[in-house]
Chains A and B, each alone.
Chain A
């Protein structure tokens, strides 16, 4: 078997009245992958997903799913399922009817339908709630009904548009694990939209980071974290995000380069031995460690991670050190520069 991608977008563009939607989006997704579309609000994640689903038709480019060119095909012909941000459950139908809606439409025999329903409800932990209406369910249960409806048909591709954004933080963590496990158990391909980078980083095999309708970087979470291709990715990924330092503040770098540095690579240095002298702006105690925010005229986002409780008074001057190997170098356009070994 050749390694032909299961889903492939080729140079997709979509504009609204000449205004940018998405531009030149190309993406290959292998079968069984969990792909997260990540980016700030309005960057075109939902648009990309809706193009993939067939709810919008692209102005240019090609969409191929499972070897078939579906660029102009209707949503129903693409053999995929979708979980909407709002869940889009039918309010007058019971849980069972909601889940079986697509099976009924596709004229699946009754016995098979009930069999599949039972399994989908078991997988999503909804057994016993068959006869409830969506209005009588909690947010988390509704979310799982939407999930059950998406998996019941057994489609190999499932699209999800911020399915967890209506849930509280604790529930979000739990459902996140459920979704990931479900995806692995069923072996389906998932394209998952989120603006929450921890969600993307923890769940996805491949993260697609977008900005202003364009893809910035495609890669594994490790690649995005360890080798951001530009300063946007560097600043977007990671908590706290990467600090950026202007080149002229450090000896041995060009003036117009930007240096990236992760918090975990910064250490406190003894007076006189540090590479930068900064001022403490705030301290955030998180239990196992303390984030110390630092200010420097030529740097943004400098944060020092100190183990345990390590409060410094703000205004206090500290010196920091770091190793050259841990630095990321970006050129004047913000692009990553491969460093000489």
Chain B
């Protein structure tokens, strides 16, 4: 028999813990866990219509998806999209933060300027970029015309459409991530730089050996966010390309939306959603468990 006081104390602690957890648990259950389960459940049914009512078909919807060339094209697009936007926006954010954190004139202005894209709603940003990209009228073509370059329909041809989308995303995200980096940079004490100076470290060595490692927790956080955004952020597709031409700029979430609300095929949309959740979950887990171990938290 263990000590009754210790038992009581442990029970009190447990109740306290559960009480603290319950608001979050409740919200997550209602808005995350239950919908996920419900999505999985509906992904195992066939699409019902007047003649054939919906019935349980197991994983057949998934098999359909794997056989669908458009699905694979969209997956490839999204992987490419993520593969470019994540590293490039992180790199640009970091460079801008390092620059905006050093002693430059009009520092406040530079920071605000960088942050502006983040404040704009994605739809407004997309309209802005539409103005850049429009063939003939757009700013890019106008500039090109000055140098006698031919007019390019950036959004209208399969080779450039996805790139055009990628650039808008980077433009939008880099400023946002920069704010996190700036905040993290402010927490690095000034005297570390001085100590490194006295030890003879160059600016680059200091950045590489001291600043970047100390920014690792921030980078990890930004990476997870960027990854989620690479799936989540599709507002501009609606304005700029609608996934075209010939699916060249279609991303997975846009395809899910199309499947559910344009083709009214909820079960396949559900199946695709489950796959996205699965992949995101796995990647996030890898990021946290692998990189986390090599990260120093202050």
| Chain A residues engaging chain B, CB cutoff 8 angstroms | 53-55, 74-76, 80-82, 84, 86, 88, 90-92, 101-102, 105-106, 133, 135, 149, 153
Contact = CB atoms under 8 A, between A and B. Distances in A.
Interface of B: 189, 191-192, 194-202, 205, 209-210, 213-214, 216, 296, 298
A101 B199 contact: yes
Nearest to B193: A88
A92 B214 contact: yes
A76 B194 CA distance: 10
A105 B189 contact: no
B234 to A, nearest CB: 37
Contacts of A91: 214, 296, 298
**A-B interface, 9 closest residue pairs, ranked by CB to CB distance from nearest:** A102-B199, A92-B296, A76-B200, A88-B195, A88-B191, A75-B197, A105-B201, A92-B213, A75-B198
Given A102-B200, A105-B199, 6 more contacts: A55-B194, A55-B197, A75-B198, A76-B200, A84-B194, A105-B202
Nearest to A84: B191
26 contacts: A53-B194, A55-B197, A74-B197, A75-B194, A75-B197, A76-B197, A76-B199, A80-B198, A82-B194, A88-B189, A88-B192, A90-B192, A90-B209, A92-B213, A92-B214, A92-B216, A92-B296, A102-B200, A105-B196, A105-B200, A105-B202, A105-B205, A106-B199, A106-B200, A133-B296, A135-B298
Contacts of A81: 198-199
A74 B200 CA distance: 9
Contacts of A105: 196, 199-202, 205
> Chain B interface mostly helix, strand, loop or mixed?
helix
Nearest to B205: A105
A55 B191 CA distance: 10
B212 to A, nearest CB: 10
Given A90-B210, A92-B213, A133-B296, A84 B197 contact: no
A105 B196 CA distance: 9
B292 to A, nearest CB: 14
Contact of A86 (B191, B198, B201, B202): B191
Contacts of B201: 76, 101-102, 105
Contacts of A84: 191, 194-195
B209 A101 contact: yes
B184 to A, nearest CB: 13
Contacts of B189: 86, 88
A55 B199 CA distance: 12
Contacts of B205: 105
A88 B214 contact: no
A133 B201 CA distance: 21
Nearest to B214: A92
Contacts of A74: 197
